[in-house]
Amino acid sequence: MARLPEVSPHDWSLLTGVVTGGLALILAVPAVWTAQDWSGGQWLHLAGVCLGVALLASIIGNALWNQASRRLPLSMLGQMIVFETVFAFVYGYVWEGRGPALVEILAILMMIVSVIWCVRAHAPPRGAEEPPH
């Protein structure tokens, strides 16, 4: 990136996503080969899920992460990763067809509260000017 300053961090991130998408297509060949008995509806469902993940997680998620990495201090960025864990829990509960147990709810709430606490600790004092970016 240092050798090509005319390419923005957003463009680098997008290019990385495009290459990853290409590699995913190559890896999909064995999956398609072994799932030849799928119906048309199953293939459409798979394509929809893949498209949704590509748009939401890869493109929009990367754009939001790039903005966060420019606007937040490094110590705060690590805290933002906790939301990846929370969403993994949500996907797991959906997959298992159940809701979280009480102890799981408490653990998730504690993780979220810790992030909010950290954000507030890093926030500029009220009435203070934000530093230029």
Segment 31-78, tens digit of pLDDT: 777 766 777 788 788 788 878 877 777 777 777 777 777 777 777 777
Say if pTM beats, i.e. exceeds, 0.75.
no
Q: Which two tokens stand for residue 100?
A: 């979280």
Q: How many residues does the chain have?
A: 133
Tokens of 2: 């240092």
The pLDDT of residue 56 is: 76
Which helix (H) or strand (E) element contains residue 117?
A: helix 102-122
Q: pLDDT band at 130, cuts 50/70/90?
A: low
pLDDT in tens, 68-89: 777 777 777 777 778 778 888 8
